[in-house]
A and B are shown apart, each in its own frame.
Chain A
Amino acid sequence: MVTGFARQKVSGGKLVSVRIEFGNSIERIEILGDFFVHPEEKLPEIEKGLLGIGVKEDEHAISERIGKLAKENGVEMIGVTPEAISSTIKMAISNGMASNKS
Chain B
Amino acid sequence: MEWRVISLENNNAYRNMAIDEAILEHIRDKKSSPTIRFYTWKPSAVSIGRFQSMNDEVNLSRCRELGIDCVRRITGGGAVFHDTKGEITYSVIAPEDAFPKGIRETYKYVCGWVIDGLNGIGIKAEFAPINDILVNGKKISGNAQTRRDGVVLQHGTILYDLDIPTMFGVLNISKEKISDKMIKSVEERVTKVLDYAKVSQEQLYKTLLEGFTKDKKYGLGELSREEEERVLDLEANVYSTERWNFSR
Interface residues of A (CB under 8 A from B): 7-9, 12, 14-15, 17, 19, 30-40, 43, 76, 78-79
Contact = CB atoms under 8 A, between A and B. Distances in A.
Q: Which of A15, A34, A38 has the most CB of B within 10 A?
A: A34
Interface of B: 49-53, 56, 74-79, 103-104, 130-131, 144-148, 174, 176-177, 179-180, 248
Given A39-B148, A40-B74, A40-B76, A31 B103 contact: no
A17 B49 CA distance: 13
Given A34-B49, A35-B76, A9 B103 contact: no
A37 B174 contact: no
Q: Enumerate the 9 nearest inter-chain pairs by beta-carbon distance, A residue then B residue, closest first.
A: A34-B78, A36-B76, A9-B176, A40-B50, A34-B49, A32-B53, A7-B176, A34-B77, A79-B130
11 contacts: A9-B180, A12-B130, A17-B56, A30-B53, A32-B52, A34-B52, A36-B77, A36-B145, A40-B75, A78-B104, A79-B76
A75 to B, nearest CB: 12
B141 to A, nearest CB: 15
A39 B144 CA distance: 13
Contact of B76 (A7, A19, A34): A34
Given A38-B147, A40-B74, A33 B51 contact: yes
Q: Is the interface of A mostly helix, strand, loop or mixed?
A: strand
Contact of B248 (A32, A36, A38): A32
Contacts of B103: 36, 38, 76, 78
Contacts of B76: 34-37, 40, 78-79
A17 to B, nearest CB: 7
Nearest to B49: A34
